[in-house]
Structure 1
């Protein structure tokens, strides 16, 4: 029954509003916020928004956590010098937000901290505040500042700061 509900929302949910909710101006603002945060810590943040999953994937059992881990690998978030990559993943059709942190960060930051960030983003998104929710997730970089502070030297940008729309 759950799989059929998920299929329904991936087929007919509000996924088609992707470009209205994540305008080019908002994407640029998000990229700037990611870049600004990365100047204060050694982490690397990627933000990916997917409108929906393909029907065959839903029927095959693909869920948001699994898809987030796939994208973590596909976008090479794991490929950072300090093992400090973080993927913020939003699946619009299912109203799901997942955070996948590389092993260096996962060893330092508890899952509950990421859950709190997801809850804050979800609350903003539910109220139609797409900008506020997205920037709140990016502002979670304060966790990276605490656990992976910058050393005052130039920190090379290992991953693109621009959000990915799928």
Structure 2
């Protein structure tokens, strides 16, 4: 990128202090939102879009060292087969991030698009194993309809 997409405060340089200030600002903002105890972010995108890599990056920021909490990258097909839920414990403790199987342009692979609506509404439990050929069945979907607001998604990234 030839020009930054945002201006940095102060000296205009990315420093450890600036990163800590951003994390502190995020945490303060989250603490003010009493109605939403956890901001749930659903990562949904095509195969090789970087969703699982993003999840590993968030875990690394939260833990303060390089972390690999999920397999990421390198394959032509999705390497995520089940709904992976990550709940940070430290710097990003007010967030829950969920990683899904990648969306593919074929009926034989990737996330079944019929499952996406159930995901967004919070009706698919963590560790649910996706089946590209068959969407979630009605019995499994109905068992999740009593989920509270904490299971619904606040943000969706493609």
TM-score over 0.5 for the pair: no
> Higher helix share goes to which structure?
1
**TM-score when scaled to structure 1?**
0.27
Say which structure, 1 or 2, has more relative contact order (CA 8 Å, 6+ apart): 1
**TM-score when scaled to structure 2?**
0.28
